[in-house]
Amino acid sequence: MKLIMFYTHEWWYKTALKSLPEAPDVDREEAIKSAAVVFYHSESADEQNRDSVIQKFVKNTKWLAGKFSTKNVVLHSFNHLSMSKASPEFAKALIDEVIERLKRTGYSVMTTPFGYFNEFKMHVAGDSLAKVYKEF
């Protein structure tokens, strides 16, 4: 798993193009303020370490959100961080579990539609911790 995490003053996205033919048709545009934005890439090795990957994903997301005293989280699939890729089915099930765990603990979670390329804009804070890379 690879994560690029940002603390943003503002995040906006709009669906652009479907990247997985089996993804449902979605036309969406959303924005949020004061959010931890997580670009994630699920790798094939994650399939053998599912529980550990989910735990670390949630822990790192909560850590960044906590540093900036926000409960707003945006999760964005970004399959450009590694040559290794988990199956789309595994990656979707994994992110669904991450979403459930975050929501269960009081986080507001926005996700960009899985299986889509999106336009996006983000206003990232200047603090050094506002930009974090994690690999596990």
User: For residue range 76-93, what is the model confidence (pLDDT) as tens digits?
Assistant: 999 888 889 999 899 999
**pLDDT number for residue 79:** 83
CA-atom Rg of the chain in angstroms: 14
- Residue from 36, 19, 27 nearest 91 by CA: 19
**pLDDT number for residue 113:** 94
Say whether pTM exceeds 0.85.
yes
Within 13 Å and on the Cβ side, how many CA atoms surround 72? 14
CATH number for the region 2-135 comes to 3.50.80.10
Enumerate the domain spans of the chain. Answer: 2-135
**pLDDT number for residue 81:** 82
- The yes-or-no verdict on residue 66 having pLDDT over 90 is yes
Give the pair of three-digit tokens for residue 115: 């299986």
Mean pLDDT on 65-85: 94
- Residue from 42, 126, 124, 33 nearest 76 by CA: 42
Q: How far apart are CA 63 and CA 35, in angstroms?
A: 12
Give the pair of three-digit tokens for residue 103: 């929501």
